[in-house]
Amino acid sequence: MTKKERYKFVFDWFEANAESAETELNYENNYQLLVAVILSAQCTDKRVNLLTPRIFEDFPVPEVMAASTPDEIFEYIKSCSYPNNKAKSLVGMAQKLVDDYNGEVPSDMNELLSIPGVGRKTANVILSVAFDKPAMAVDTHVFRVSNRIGLTNNSKTPLETERELVKHIPEHLISKAHHWLILHGRYICVARKPKCDQCGLRDWCKYYKNVVSKQLPGMEK
C-alpha cells in the first residue's frame, strides 16, 4: 500500500464514520478558547471544562484578566496541571492581547507565538478552531495515532509530524483531520492498550498489521 493510498483510505473512513470534528473544550468566543487551550496543556478537556465557567464569569474579557495577578488566577486553576505556570501565562496572555491586539486574539501564527503561554500546538489549535485555517495541531494523540497507522514514518518531533500530515492531507480536510485524530487517539487508539477490536482503521493500520495481528491466536509471531 502506498502512502497516498493509506491517506485516502484513512480519511475517507473518517469522513464517513467520525461522529465529531469539533473540540471538546467549552467556549463562546476566541478569548475563551485561548484560555481553555492554554489550560488544556497536559490536562484533560474534561478537567478544563470544570474550571472555565468560573474563570469566564469572573474574567469575561482580556482587560479584566490583564488587571488581575497570577496569585489570583491560581486560586481558580489550582486543580489543573502546572497551575503556577499557567496562571502566569494567562495573565501575560491577557496583557499582551490588551497591549498589542486591542483585546482581540490575532489570526497570524507569528503574532500568536508572541503571546505568553502560546506555543506552536496552541497557535495551530487557535488558527484551526477559531479561524478555520488549515492548521494541524499535533498533541500526544495526533503524534501517536499518526505513527501507529503509518501516516508518518516514526517521526521524532511534533513539527515533523505536522509537516508530514499537512503535506498529504487535502487542505480542506486539515482542520477536521486534527479533531478526528485527537478523538481517535483519546477513545480508540489509546496509549497503553489500543482498542483495535473497535477500530475501523485496522485494515490500513501498520501497527495492527505488524504488531497486533501477529499476537492473535493462530497467527505466527
Domain containing residue 115: CATH number = 1.10.340.30
> 25 lies in a domain?
no
**Widest Cα–Cα separation across the chain:** 66
Residue among 163, 211, 201, 167 nearest 17 (CA)? 201
Q: Within a domain: residue 14?
A: yes
Q: Which residue, 131, 148, 182, sits at the end of a domain?
A: 131
Catalytic residues: 121, 139
Low-confidence ranges of the chain (pLDDT < 50): 219-221
In the DSSP assignment, the letter for residue 117 is: T
At residue 80, the pLDDT reads 94
Examine the domain organization and report whether 34 and 111 are in the same domain: yes
pLDDT digits (tens, 9 = 90+) for 61-82: 999 999 999 999 999 999 999 9
pLDDT digits (tens, 9 = 90+) for 182-214: 999 999 999 999 999 999 999 999 999 888 777
pLDDT at residue 109, as a whole number: 97
Containing domain of residue 117, as a range? Answer: 30-131
Q: What integer pLDDT is reported at residue 221 of this predicted model?
A: 38
User: Within a 10 A sphere around the Cβ of 116, how many other Cβ atoms?
Assistant: 15
pLDDT of residue 163: 95
Task: Quote the number of domains for the chain.
Answer: 2
Helices (H), the chain: 3-17, 30-39, 45-58, 62-66, 70-77, 83-100, 109-113, 120-125, 131, 140-149, 158-168, 174-187, 206-207
**Looking at 96, 131, 166, which one is the last position of a domain?**
131
Say what the pLDDT of residue 217 is.
Answer: 59
| Same structural domain, 155 and 91 | no
pLDDT value of position 216:
63
Q: Are residues 95 and 52 in the same domain?
A: yes
Inter-residue contact 29 to 126 (CB < 8 Å):
no
pLDDT given at position 85: 97
